[in-house]
C-alpha cells in the first residue's frame, strides 16, 4: 500500500558536507519517492564543498535521489537581497517548505509567502557549541518566526521536544517523529576483517562518530583505561574524525593506551567496522537521536549509553541496564559483557536487531507524509 501526498515539498538542507541532517534528508526523500511522493525538491543552502565531502561522494548521493536539486550560496546571517529574492521565486513551485536547518536570511521568506512552513529539530544547543555575539539576535529571530509563521514543527525525540518547548516554541501542529534508518544488507569490507584478524580473539569496545566535544570520547578513553587495566585482551576501536582527534590521540598515549586504542579515521560506511565490535558505546551527552547507535543495534550489538545522553536513551530504553548513570557504571557494564562473551562466545543478540527494526526510514516517511496531508487540509 502506498502512502503519498499530493503536496509538493521543498526540503531545505544545510550543505553537501558529511552530517546526520544531510543523510536524513537524502534518505527521507528517497523513502518518500518509493512510497509514491514524486513532487519533491532539495535546496542545498551552502553548496560549496571541501575535499572530504568530495571524497565521500555526498554531492553525488544528493543528486542520485531523483528529485530536483537547487544550489544556494547562503552563509550565516550575511545579508544578500538577491539570494532572498531568488529563493522566494523558487518557493512558488512548492506547497510546503520543510526546513531541516535554520537559515536566518531565508527564514524571512516566511513573512512574504503563503506557504506551509515546517521545521524539523535535529539538534539542541548542546555542549561544545561555539557561541557567537549574534546568537541572542539569531535565536530570538528563530523563535519569533517559528511562533508566528510556521504551521508545524517536528521533533526527532521526546528529549528534543522538551528542550525546544522549554524555549517557548509553539506551532499549530506538533509531532515527535523519530529518525529512521534505511537498512541494507550487511556490508562487506576487507579492512575490518584484517583488523579482527590482527586482534585475534580480543574483546573490542567501539564507537563511530564525529570527534567533537559533545561525543565525550575523552571520557570514554578514560573509562576504557580502567576497564582494560584488568582485561589484557581489551581494545577500543574509534571510527571517525574531527577537530578533537589530535587531542584524543595525545590522551591515549599519555594513558599508555596507544597500542590498545585504535583510530581508523573517517569511514564512508561504518557498518563493516561494527562487525569487529563486541560492544558499541555512545558516550555523548545531549544527543538528539543517534543514528549510528541504531545501526549498531541492527548488527545485533549491545549499545551502552549514559543517562544524560538525550534522545538515544529513548532508543535504548530508560529502564535498560545498558543505560548507565556514570562512566564508572559504564565500566561495570562492560565487565558484564566481557564475561558474557567469555561464557557464550558472543555479546550479540537478535533482540537488539529487533529493537532497531522499529526505526526504519519507511516508517518515518509515512509519518512525515501523514503530517503533510494534515497541513494541506486547510490550505
**Environment class of 42 (CB within 10 Å of its CB; exposed 0-12, middle 13-18, buried 19+):** buried
Write b or e for each residue in 247-263: b if 16 or more Cβ atoms lie within 10 A of its Cβ, otherwise e: ebbebbeebebeebbbb
**Would you call 339 exposed, middle or buried from its count of C-beta atoms within 10 A (0-12, 13-18, 19+)?**
exposed
Look at the block and give the residue holding cell 524555549.
167
Q: Which residue has the cell 519533491?
A: 40
pLDDT of residue 51: 53
- Return the pLDDT at 318: 85
DSSP single-letter state for residue 108? G
Structure-block grid coordinates of residue 235: 581494545
Closest among 99, 121, 98 to 289, alpha carbons compared: 121
Angle between helices 217-228 and 245-254 (to 10 degrees): 20
**What pLDDT does residue 176 have?**
97
Three-state DSSP state, 327: helix
Which three cell numbers mark 348?
A: 550479540
Q: 100, 353 in Cβ contact below 8 A?
A: no
**Residues of the chain where predicted confidence (pLDDT) is lower than 70:** 1-2, 18, 49-56, 75-79, 126-131, 184-200, 378-379
How far is 43 from 64, CA to CA, in rounded Å? Answer: 14
Distance CA 44, CA 42 (A): 6
Residues whose CB falls within 8 Å of the CB of residue 98, separated by 6 or more in sequence, listed in order: 9, 10, 11, 12, 118, 119, 120
Q: Give the SS3 label for residue 360.
A: strand
C-alpha cell at 167: 524555549
- Given a contact cutoff of 8 angstroms between Cβ atoms, the answer to whether 294 and 315 are in contact is yes
Q: Provide the grid cell at 265.
A: 579515521
Position 18 scores a pLDDT of: 66
Q: Which of these, 168, 132, 176, lies nearest to 152 by C-alpha position?
A: 176
* H helix or E strand, kind and range, residue 71: strand 68-71
Q: Are 260 and 235 in contact (CB under 8 A)?
A: yes
Amino acid at each position: 500500500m502506498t502512502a503519498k501526498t499530493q503536496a509538493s515539498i521543498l526540503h531545505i538542507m544545510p550543505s553537501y558536507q558529511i552530517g546526520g541532517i544531510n543523510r536524513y534528508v537524502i534518505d527521507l526523500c528517497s523513502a518518500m519517492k518509493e512510497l509514491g511522493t514524486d513532487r519533491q525538491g532539495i535546496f542545498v543552502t551552502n553548496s560549496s564543498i571541501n575535499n572530504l565531502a568530495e571524497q565521500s561522494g555526498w554531492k553525488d548521493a544528493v543528486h542520485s535521489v531523483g528529485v530536483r536539486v537547487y544550489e544556494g550560496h547562503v552563509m550565516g546571517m550575511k545579508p544578500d537581497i538577491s539570494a532572498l529574492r531568488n529563493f522566494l521565486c523558487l518557493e512558488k513551485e512548492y506547497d510546503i517548505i520543510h526546513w531541516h536547518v535554520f537559515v536566518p536570511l531565508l527564514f524571512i521568506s516566511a513573512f512574504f509567502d503563503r506557504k506551509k512552513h515546517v521545521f524539523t529539530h535535529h539538534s539542541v544547543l548542546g555542549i561544545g557549541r561555539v557561541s557567537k555575539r549574534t546568537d541572542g539576535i539569531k535565536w530570538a529571530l528563530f523563535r519569533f518566526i517559528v511562533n508566528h509563521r510556521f504551521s508545524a514543527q517536528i521533533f526527532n525525540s521526546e528529549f528534543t521536544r522538551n528542550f525546544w518547548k522549554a524555549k517557548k516554541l509553539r506551532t499549530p501542529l506538533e509531532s515527535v517523529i523519530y529518525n529512521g534508518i534505511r537498512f541494507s544488507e550487511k556490508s562487506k569490507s576487507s579492512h575490518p576483517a584484517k583488523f579482527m584478524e590482527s586482534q585475534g580473539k580480543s574483546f573490542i569496545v567501539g564507537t563511530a562518530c564525529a570527534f567533537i566535544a559533545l561525543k565525550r570520547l575523552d571520557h570514554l578513553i578514560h573509562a576504557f583505561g580502567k576497564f582494560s587495566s584488568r582485561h589484557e585482551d581489551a581494545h577500543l576501536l574509534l571510527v571517525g574524525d574531527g577537530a578533537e582527534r589530535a587531542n584524543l590521540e595525545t590522551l591515549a598515549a599519555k594513558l599508555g593506551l596507544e597500542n590498545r586504542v585504535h583510530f581508523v579515521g573517517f569511514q564512508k560506511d561504518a557498518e563493516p567496522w561494527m562487525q569487529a565490535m563486541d560492544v558499541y558505546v555512545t558516550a555523548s551527552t545531549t544527543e538528539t537521536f543517534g543514528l549510528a547507535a541504531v545501526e549498531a543495534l541492527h548488527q545485533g550489538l549491545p549499545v551502552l549509553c549514559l543517562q544524560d545522553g538525550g534522545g538515544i536513551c529513548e532508543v535504548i530504553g530508560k529502564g535498560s541496564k545498558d543505560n548507565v548513570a556514570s562512566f564508572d557504571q559504564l565500566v561495570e557494564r562492560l565487565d558484564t559483557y566481557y564475561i558474557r562473551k567469555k561464557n557464550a562466545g558472543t555479546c550479540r543478540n537478535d533482540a537488539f536487531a529487533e529493537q532497531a527494526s522499529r526505526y526504519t526510514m519507511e516508517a518515518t516517511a509515512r509519518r512525515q507524509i501523514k503530517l503533510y496531508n494534515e497541513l494541506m487540509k486547510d490550505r
